[in-house]
Structure 1
Amino acid sequence: MARTRSEEGATPSDIETLTFEQALAELEGIVKALESGQGALEASVAAYQRGAALRAHCERKLAEAEQKVQAIVEGPSGLSLRDVE
């Protein structure tokens, strides 16, 4: 069955449950496997697609973390926290 464009753009639900570290480790494994050139074409294409979804997931996780990061600022009343822009 052919996949629609919206299905292709969606992140598989199993990827959504991965931590950044888990997704990155899986992505690194996919990259190594693809670089070896040993896989069949269809398997390589499927791995590439999963890798793209993992990359997007990692980028989202990094963006979320960046929004949560706070910087320590020294002011007249001592140290305080402010959001990083």
Structure 2
Amino acid sequence: MPKSSDTPAPASSIAEFEHSLDELEQLVTRMEGGELSLDDSLKSFERGIGLYRHCQTALEQAELRVRLLLDPEAPDTAEPFDSRID
């Protein structure tokens, strides 16, 4: 049976995002350390780009879900709430 598009994201999706973000942070730290060879730096950069794209996609999907929750009839015009306290 196909999944409904309005079901919550499985915990594994959240865990995958967090794991990707952690790995990306570790890659950046190692690359900033300047001790990697050129080949290792290029491999790390390539892996980092893949992780970045995965994280970006997950964030875009989360934003869409929030917009659908804010205004299911017109998600493109949904106004996000303002969490600032003046």
| TM-score (normalizing by structure 2) | 0.62
Query: Which gives a bigger RCO, structure 1 or 2 (Cα 8 Å, sep 6+)?
Result: 1
Alignment partners' CA distance in 2, 1:26 and 1:60: 16
Aligned residues: 58
SS at match of 1:29: helix
Percent of counterpart pairs with the same letter? Answer: 34
Q: Where does residue 10 of structure 1 map in the other structure?
A: none
User: Moved runs in structure 1, 4+ residues, more than 6 A?
Assistant: none
- Of 17, 36, 39, 1:39 maps to 36
Equivalents in 2 of 1:54, 1:63: separation in Å?
14
Match runs of 1:1-85 below 5 Å: 19-69=16-66, 70-71=69-70, 82-83=71-72, 84-85=75-76
CA displacement at 1:40 relative to structure 2: 1.0
Rounded Cα–Cα distance in structure 2 between residues aligned with 1:53 and 1:34: 16
Structure showing greater Rg: 1
The answer to which structure has the higher strand fraction is 1
Q: Per-residue deviation at 1:57?
A: 0.5
> How far off its partner does 1:25 sit?
0.4
Q: Which structure carries more helix by proportion?
A: 2
Which ranges in structure 1 are unaligned for 5 or more consecutive residues?
A: 1-17, 72-81
